[in-house]
């Protein structure tokens, strides 16, 4: 089929509707297609079968249930039922039941084939059921295929796992596909083996394959060959059976599995020509890694024959079939077993060869000297494997290509050992995530972590640590409580986990009579794995009654919306109390003093799910937003402390780092309003102003834009894409993969997200080749990337991603735009390290091969939304000739994807224009930029002083500003630039304290309105959130209570600003408050401190004095926040003064 014909015929439904041909599909989609293929094959055999699927989600099978739901129509049409399990064990039991139907009257099918799925810990949990099902037997026309998901690298798990060993304990055979295409072939063989052996068969799926996508050849597989092996036993499920005969039959099933593997050649000799010197035995993902490694070492099939390398690929990793193995090993003096995790193959091979009286040298996890060569922790990569193979080659056979590759690997390793990540994008809660509030614990208390997104609290300074297996949350406390003076703990428990098995943990806590408070985090979705609904859909009402029945002492329902409980309040147990989330701390303090087991049901919808539902019109979208007046903002970060929200971002200004709301990522949780600060303004009815260039302008410009020639492919073309979770990084992989598929090329795409959904680092590895046969391992090898699309500079500059860079080979397009990491939310003074990050990139990527541009800023100005950034970067790379597929194929892939088609095409075109004629694009952007309203950043010391002098004139008057100016003249005379700039900034700060007059002036000056208009369009109303110090009201935390005041306050602000002349006089009614007294004290003490420091100034004291005079930068905020920072700063001041003059005593107010 020609390329143009293929373009017109490719559809997204191919993966399920095509019976033969090529389709682009993910590992999960291949598993969803598998039961369809089983049904079609049975129909061809004249069997009327049905299918049943159950299990429980979990990475790397996190999205399998969603994939099955999306294919529900075609599954039902083919008599296949999908019923997700409440947990893995019960799902496995249900699939076992599917094998028993034909034993009873009323069955409507010749048999039912069953498919169960679960990640490694779910296998452990379900092993008792799987053992029973295996012993009891399968239907001869059914079959039980257990899809086991293994996260070898522990990327999205609490422990790495390796399921074949657990399955072996139940005598269950495990087959291990090495590719998505083999998922289909081995899956079909797995069903047939299950029918033949009468037992469960495991299909091992590792993250690197099941979470990837590829262009796959679809075909009909011939019926499996029936082994010659005969047994008198009935291996399938049958009536009149008993446990004793079932146990006896296990050996026969074991023998039958090996016979089936032998007859159907599940284990294969890949290379076996020439005199053998080294035999490599491997399986699954490691097989692909080995093939890739050998290729990178210059060892293809012909070269392997010269070197005496033979290769054996195992398809059934347990039990290992002996006959084919012995035939492979009989004349090989040296064997190298390459497998991940613990040595399942190696131990079997040694036993089999020992019994056969064969004694080659065998190494695997350790070399022949007993030294580790293939670690059992983490996962293997091609660099580790390359060294192991190299060390097994005779010195005379280590050619130049092999030596060069090993030298490159070792050089890269040395570079990475020297490298330290300057900044990291840790996974973090989405903006507006309920866990931002729900996971807080009172001072002096500690929490126990649980499985789910809330697990991330462990790196958020919230005194929460120690996690358990899913369903064991909080139960460790039962074993600690009798032996400690500690009286109480909190335990976090997600609603999905509660339904899965967590209710048993609560039941155990009640029975043990320990003091514990469970916080059931009811988010209305299983957010960590993609927003699926909780099985059974229990409501808060249902859970409350369940807990009441479990004899929980006290139950609180805490929510951000308690109005919805008014209608059902009377239907709840009488002991249940309802409270707003603002009272959470008080409730926690109450429950920590309550004996026995207590529960808080924290009810707030998952932020990511809330955003999805609002987009679909399934949930109200509040017509209001929050705006921060950065002129009023002190940069104290109390808003981040209260909300833990990543939508609050830094804004670097002339007067220091302030705060701003990222309106694109804000999920309208509004908990930032709890920050004690008058800078927060609520905007009602305003729409986010998006300046964008008219599409007609783009169309006109693009007419002169030439089509760039695609990059040349030699072997495979490897593209690494790095970025931030939730911004569309995965979309690049999906589109390029589909585009390559449309052109009939081979392609694989590996998306690596780990825990990241929003805010964390994500990456995608894309491989494109002329043929699928040229692609083996889906992960890019060290120092092998042809192109880096760095959609985020911080993620690109981590060691994890720099490992793929070859300085003289890798081309790169880097987005230089700085997006604050989650560390800013936890520590608002954390530096950006942006200059160091740029230097790291320059060390690893040749300057001539790296293009750096502020893609986010440019794309936002052109398209009106930062979400266009990644497609803009892709367009830039296309025009530079760095993408090995045609533009028309990419556009066709975008159309097939069906999401934001026009916007994505336009973003790509703008990116192409930027690459072709950057000056023209920049000129267009400059025409879009409105005149700035922010104070320009100072470039010199005199600029710093002059700017602040003028600001003090506005703040009070010229006389006040002159005091500042004269003081700086005295400081400048010392002759130290550092000293002058430090005093210039800090003296201004203490003199321009934000009292009522200043806040009023900053709101009424006109600049505030300009900033509002710059960010919002339409007709809108505003509301101020303030806490005037003269009002006596307190909130639930004991702080002064903030009140909402409408726009009528603007004239009052204007009037008040004109009364600034009263500041400091007897008529200054505001000056008598404790807050204002403190601010005047800080100012006056700074003048005194400055005089003291100038007297002490010398080279020896310089560092200490600069630190002392810079301390006001730490006294940020308003009211109680400023007071707390003042106390902390005074403690620091005491320490610093002691180094200058031990006799100086400092009174801390």
pLDDT of 763-774, one tens digit each? Answer: 999 999 999 999
Per-residue burial over 695-732, b = 16 or more CB atoms within 10 Å of its CB, e = otherwise? eeebeebeeeeeebebbebeebbbbbbbbbbbbbbbbb
Q: Does residue 1149 register a pLDDT over 50?
A: no
Over pLDDT 90: what percentage of the chain? 79
The DSSP annotation for 786-841 comes to: SEEEESSHHHHTSHHHHTT--TTT-EEEEE------HHHHH-TT----HHHHHHHH
Handedness of CA 833, 835, 838, 840 (dihedral sign): negative
Task: Measure the CA–CA gap between 122 and 143, rounded to whole angstroms.
Answer: 20
Question: Which CATH topology does 435-605 take?
Answer: Rossmann fold (3.40.50)
Question: Which CATH topology does 268-418 take?
Answer: Rossmann fold (3.40.50)
HEC profile of 13-25: CHHHHCCCEEEEE
DSSP label of 393: S
Per-residue burial over 307-338, b = 16 or more CB atoms within 10 Å of its CB, e = otherwise? bbbbbbbbbbbbbbbbebbeebbeebebbbbb
Helix, strand or coil, per DSSP, at residue 700: helix
Measured CA to CA in angstroms, residue 1118 lies from 132, 656, 1111 at distances of 66, 16, 17
The DSSP annotation for 293-339 comes to: HHHHTT--HHHHHHHTEEEEEESEEESPPHHHHHHHHTT-SEEEEE-
- Average pLDDT, stretch 1053-1081? 95
CB 85 within 8 A of CB 534: no
- Average pLDDT, stretch 860-874? 94
Which part of the chain is CATH 3.40.50.920? 268-418
Q: Give the β-pairing of 144-150 and 680-684.
A: unpaired
Task: Measure the CA–CA gap between 111 and 143, rounded to whole angstroms.
Answer: 9
Task: Measure the CA–CA gap between 514 and 433, rounded to whole angstroms.
Answer: 30
Pick the CATH number of 620-688 from 1.10.287, 3.30.70, 3.10.20, 3.30.1380: 3.30.70
| 1074-1096 vs 958-972: helix crossing angle, rounded to 10 | 30
HEC profile of 234-274: CCCCCCCCCHHHHHHHHHHHHHHHHHHHHHCCCCEEEECCC
pLDDT at 19: 93
CB-based contacts of 1052: which residues, under 8 Å, 6+ apart? 1000
Task: Measure the CA–CA gap between 667 and 432, rounded to whole angstroms.
Answer: 5
Q: Predicted confidence band at 1146 (pLDDT cuts at 50, 70, 90)?
A: very low
- Average pLDDT, stretch 114-140? 97
pLDDT at 830: 81
Q: Does residue 532 register a pLDDT over 90?
A: no
pLDDT at 1142: 61
| pLDDT single digits (tens) 458-509 | 778 888 888 888 999 999 999 999 999 999 999 999 999 999 999 999 999 9
Which part of the chain is CATH 3.30.70? 620-688
| pLDDT single digits (tens) 870-894 | 999 999 999 999 999 999 999 999 9
- Average pLDDT, stretch 699-724? 95
CB-based contacts of 351: which residues, under 8 Å, 6+ apart? none
pLDDT at 395: 85
Per-residue burial over 457-480, b = 16 or more CB atoms within 10 Å of its CB, e = otherwise? beebebebeebbebbbbbbebbee
| pLDDT single digits (tens) 285-320 | 999 999 999 999 999 999 999 999 999 999 999 999
Angle at 756 (CA atoms; ends 754, 760), nearest 5 degrees? 125
CB-based contacts of 56: which residues, under 8 Å, 6+ apart? 84, 85, 86, 87, 88, 91, 117, 118, 122, 500
DSSP label of 367: -
Q: Is 509 exposed, middle or buried (0-12, 13-18, 19+ CB in 10 A)?
A: buried
Helix, strand or coil, per DSSP, at residue 175: strand
Question: Which CATH topology does 695-928 take?
Answer: Pyruvate-ferredoxin Oxidoreductase; domain 3 (3.40.920)
Which part of the chain is CATH 3.40.50.970? 3-263, 435-605
Token pair, residue 1036, equals 């639930």
Q: Is 971 exposed, middle or buried (0-12, 13-18, 19+ CB in 10 A)?
A: buried
Q: Is 385 exposed, middle or buried (0-12, 13-18, 19+ CB in 10 A)?
A: buried
CB-based contacts of 842: which residues, under 8 Å, 6+ apart? 850
Helical H segments across 3-87, by residue range: 3-9, 14-17, 27-44, 64-70, 72-77
CB 982 within 8 A of CB 1106: yes
Residue from 919, 783, 924, 784 nearest 853 by CA: 919
Higher pLDDT, 346 or 663: 346
Residue from 393, 497, 486, 493 nearest 444 by CA: 486
Token pair, residue 49, equals 């079968």
| pLDDT single digits (tens) 970-1004 | 999 999 999 999 999 999 999 999 999 999 999 99
pLDDT at 780: 96
Measured CA to CA in angstroms, residue 823 lies from 423, 459, 650, 794 at distances of 9, 10, 11, 13
CB 998 within 8 A of CB 990: no
Q: Is the peptide bond before 929 cis (omega within 30 degrees of 0)?
A: no
CB 1041 within 8 A of CB 1058: no
Q: Give the β-pairing of 316-318 and 174-175.
A: antiparallel
pLDDT at 903: 94
Handedness of CA 504, 507, 513, 519 (dihedral sign): positive
| pLDDT single digits (tens) 901-938 | 999 999 999 999 999 999 999 999 887 666 667 889 99
pLDDT at 755: 59
Residue from 465, 473, 558 nearest 518 by CA: 473
CB 540 within 8 A of CB 603: yes
Task: Measure the CA–CA gap between 267 and 175, rounded to whole angstroms.
Answer: 10
Task: Measure the CA–CA gap between 113 and 106, rounded to whole angstroms.
Answer: 17
pLDDT at 1147: 44
Phi, psi of 600 (to 5 degrees): -110, 120
Higher pLDDT, 461 or 525: 461
Q: How many CB atoms lie within 10 A of CB 171?
A: 19
The DSSP annotation for 472-512 comes to: -TTTHHHHHGGG-S---EEEEEEHHHIIIIIHHHHHHHHHH
What's the gap between Cα 672 and its chain centre? Answer: 23
Which part of the chain is CATH 3.40.920.10? 695-928
Angle at 662 (CA atoms; ends 658, 668), nearest 5 degrees? 115
Pick from 103-117, 363-377, 574-588, 1020-1034: least confident: 1020-1034
Tell me which H or E stretch contains 891: helix 887-897
E strand segments, 127-241: 144-150, 174-175, 200-206, 212-218
Query: Bridge-partner residues for 767, per DSSP?
Result: 718, 748
pLDDT at 187: 98
- Average pLDDT, stretch 50-75? 95
Task: Measure the CA–CA gap between 287 and 298, rounded to whole angstroms.
Answer: 17
Task: Measure the CA–CA gap between 329 and 663, rounded to whole angstroms.
Answer: 64
pLDDT at 1047: 95
Q: Does residue 581 register a pLDDT over 50?
A: yes
Task: Measure the CA–CA gap between 805 and 24, rounded to whole angstroms.
Answer: 27
Polymer length in residues for the chain:
1149
CB 310 within 8 A of CB 325: no
CB-based contacts of 83: which residues, under 8 Å, 6+ apart? 52, 53, 54, 94
* CATH number given to 3-263: 3.40.50.970
| 322-329 vs 243-263: helix crossing angle, rounded to 10 | 40
CB-based contacts of 41: which residues, under 8 Å, 6+ apart? 188, 220, 221, 223
Q: Does residue 530 register a pLDDT over 90?
A: no
Q: Does residue 268 register a pLDDT over 80?
A: yes
Q: If you average pLDDT over every residue of the chain, what do you get?
A: 93
pLDDT at 172: 98
Measured CA to CA in angstroms, residue 887 lies from 543, 740, 905, 908, 1085 at distances of 54, 11, 10, 10, 67
């Amino acid at each position: 089929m020609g390329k143009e014909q293929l373009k017109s015929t490719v559809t997204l439904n191919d993966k399920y509707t095509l019976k033969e041909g090529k389709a682009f599909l993910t590992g999960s989609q291949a598993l969803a297609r598998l039961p369809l293929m089983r049904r079609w094959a049975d129909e061809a055999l004249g069997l009327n079968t049905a299918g049943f699927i159950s299990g429980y989600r979990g990475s790397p099978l996190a999205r399998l249930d969603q994939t099955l739901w999306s294919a529900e129509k075609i599954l039902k049409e083919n008599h296949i039922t999908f019923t997700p399990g409440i947990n893995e064990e019960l799902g496995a039991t249900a699939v076992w039941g599917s094998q028993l139907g034909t034993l009873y009257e009323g069955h409507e099918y010749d048999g039912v084939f069953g498919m169960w799925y679960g990640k490694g810990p779910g296998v452990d949990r379900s092993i008792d059921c799987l053992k029973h099902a295996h012993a009891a037997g399968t239907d001869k026309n059914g079959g039980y295929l257990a899809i086991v998901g293994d996260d070898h690298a522990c990327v999205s798990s609490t422990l790495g796992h390796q399921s074949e060993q657990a399955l072996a304990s139940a005598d269950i055979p495990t087959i291990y596909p090495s590719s998505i295409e083999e998922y289909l072939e081995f899956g079909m063989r797995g069903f047939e083996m299950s029918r033949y052996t009468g037992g469960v068969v495991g299909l091992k799926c590792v993250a690197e394959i099941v979470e990837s996508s590829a262009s796959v050849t679809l075909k009909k597989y011939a019926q499996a060959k029936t082994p010659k092996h005969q047994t008198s036993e009935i291996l399938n499920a049958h009536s009149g059976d008993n446990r004793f005969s079932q146990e006896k039959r296990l050996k026969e099933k074991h023998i039958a599995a090996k016979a089936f593997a032998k007859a159907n050649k599940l284990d294969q000799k890949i290379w076996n020509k020439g005199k053998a010197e080294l035999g490599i035995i491997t399986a699954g993902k490691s097989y692909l890694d080995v093939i890739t490694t050998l290729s990178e070492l210059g060892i293809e099939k012909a070269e392997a024959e010269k070197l005496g390398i033979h290769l054996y690929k195992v398809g059934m990793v347990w039990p290992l079939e002996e006959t084919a193995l012995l035939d492979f090993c009989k004349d090989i003096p040296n064997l190298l077993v390459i497998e991940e995790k613990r040595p399942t193959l190696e131990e079997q091979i040694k036993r089999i060869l020992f019994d056969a009286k064969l004694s080659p040298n065998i190494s695997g996890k350790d070399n022949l000297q007993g030294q580790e060569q293939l670690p059992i922790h983490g996962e293997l990569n091609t660099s580790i494997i390359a060294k192991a193979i190299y060390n097994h080659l005779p010195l005379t056979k280590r050619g130049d290509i092999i030596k060069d590759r090993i030298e490159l690997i070792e050089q890269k390793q040395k570079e990475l050992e020297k490298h330290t990540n300057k900044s990291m994008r840790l996974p973090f809660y989405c903006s507006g995530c309920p866990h931002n509030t729900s996971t807080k614990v009172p001072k002096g208390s500690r929490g126990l972590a649980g499985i789910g997104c809330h697990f991330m609290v462990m790196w958020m300074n919230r005194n929460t640590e120690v996690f358990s297996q899913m369903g064991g949350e909080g139960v460790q406390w039962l074993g600690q409580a009798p032996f400690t003076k500690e009286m109480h703990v909190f335990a976090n428990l997600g609603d999905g986990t509660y339904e899965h098995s967590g209710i048993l943990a609560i039941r155990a806590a009640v029975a043990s009579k320990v003091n514990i408070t469970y916080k059931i985090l009811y988010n209305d979705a299983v957010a960590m794995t993609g927003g699926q609904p909780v099985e059974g859909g229990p409501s808060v009402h249902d859970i409350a009654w369940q807990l009441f029945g479990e004899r929980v002492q006290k139950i609180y329902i805490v929510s951000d919306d308690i109005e919805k409980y008014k209608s059902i309040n009377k239907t709840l147990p009488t002991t249940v109390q309802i409270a707003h989330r603002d009272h959470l701390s008080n409730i926690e303090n109450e429950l920590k003093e309550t004996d026995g087991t207590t529960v808080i049901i924290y009810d707030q919808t998952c932020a990511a799910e809330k955003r999805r539902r609002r987009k679909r019109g399934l949930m109200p979208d509040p017509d209001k937003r929050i705006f921060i007046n950065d002129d009023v903002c002190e940069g104290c970060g109390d808003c981040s402390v209260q909300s833990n929200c990543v939508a609050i971002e830094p804004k670097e200004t002339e007067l220091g780092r302030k705060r701003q709301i990222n309106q694109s990522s804000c999920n309208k949780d509004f908990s930032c309003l709890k920050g004690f600060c008058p800078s927060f303004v609520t905007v009602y009815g305003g729409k986010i102003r998006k300046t964008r260039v008219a599409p007609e302008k783009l169309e006109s410009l693009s007419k002169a834009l030439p089509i760039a020639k695609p990059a040349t492919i030699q072997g495979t073309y490897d593209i690494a894409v790095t970025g931030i979770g939730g911004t569309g990084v995965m979309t690049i992989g999906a589109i390029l993969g589909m585009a390559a598929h449309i052109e009939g090329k081979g392609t694989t795409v590996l998306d690596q997200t780990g825990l990241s959904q929003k805010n964390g680092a994500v990456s995608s590895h894309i491989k494109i080749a002329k043929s699928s046969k040229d692609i083996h391992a889906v992960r890019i090898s060290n120092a092998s990337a042809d192109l880096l699309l760095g959609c985020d500079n911080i993620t690109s500059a981590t060691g994890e991603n720099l490992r793929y860079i070859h300085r003289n080979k890798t081309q790169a397009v880097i987005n230089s735009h700085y997006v604050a990491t989650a560390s800013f939310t936890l520590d608002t003074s954390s530096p950006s390290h942006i200059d160091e990050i740029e230097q790291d990139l320059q060390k690893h990527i040749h300057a001539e091969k790296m293009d750096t541009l502020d893609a986010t800023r440019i794309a936002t100005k052109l398209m009106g939304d930062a979400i266009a950034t990644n497609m803009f970067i892709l367009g830039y790379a296309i025009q530079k000739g760095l993408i090995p597929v045609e533009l028309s194929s990419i556009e066709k892939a975008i159309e097939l994807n069906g999401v934001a088609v026009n916007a994505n095409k336009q973003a790509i075109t703008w990116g192409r224009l930027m690459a072709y004629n950057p000056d023209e694009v920049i000129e267009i952007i400059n025409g879009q930029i409105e005149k700035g309203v922010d104070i320009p950043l100072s470039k010199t010391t005199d600029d710093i002083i002059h700017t602040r002098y003028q600001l003090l004139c506005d703040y009070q008057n010229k006389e006040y500003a002159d005091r500042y100016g004269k003081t700086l003249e005295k400081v400048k005379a010392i002759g130290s630039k550092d000293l002058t700039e430090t005093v210039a900034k800090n003296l201004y700060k203490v003199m321009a304290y934000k009292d009522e007059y200043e806040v009023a002036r900053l709101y009424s000056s006109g600049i505030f309105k300009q900033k509002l208009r710059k960010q919002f369009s339409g007709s809108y109303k505003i509301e101020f959130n303030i806490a005037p110090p003269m009002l006596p009201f307190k909130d639930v935390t004991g702080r002064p209570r903030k009140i909402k005041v409408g726009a009528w306050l603007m004239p009052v602000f204007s009037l008040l600003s004109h009364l600034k002349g009263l500041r400091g006089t007897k008529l200054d009614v505001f000056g008598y408050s404790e807050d204002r007294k403190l601010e005047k004290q800080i100012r006056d003490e700074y003048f005194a401190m400055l005089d003291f420091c100038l007297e002490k100034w010398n080279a020896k004291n310089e560092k200490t004095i600069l630190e002392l005079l810079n301390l006001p930068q730490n006294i940020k905020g308003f009211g109680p926040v400023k007071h707390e920072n003042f106390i902390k700063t005074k403690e620091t001041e005491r320490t610093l003064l002691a180094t200058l003059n031990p006799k100086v005593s400092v009174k801390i107010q």
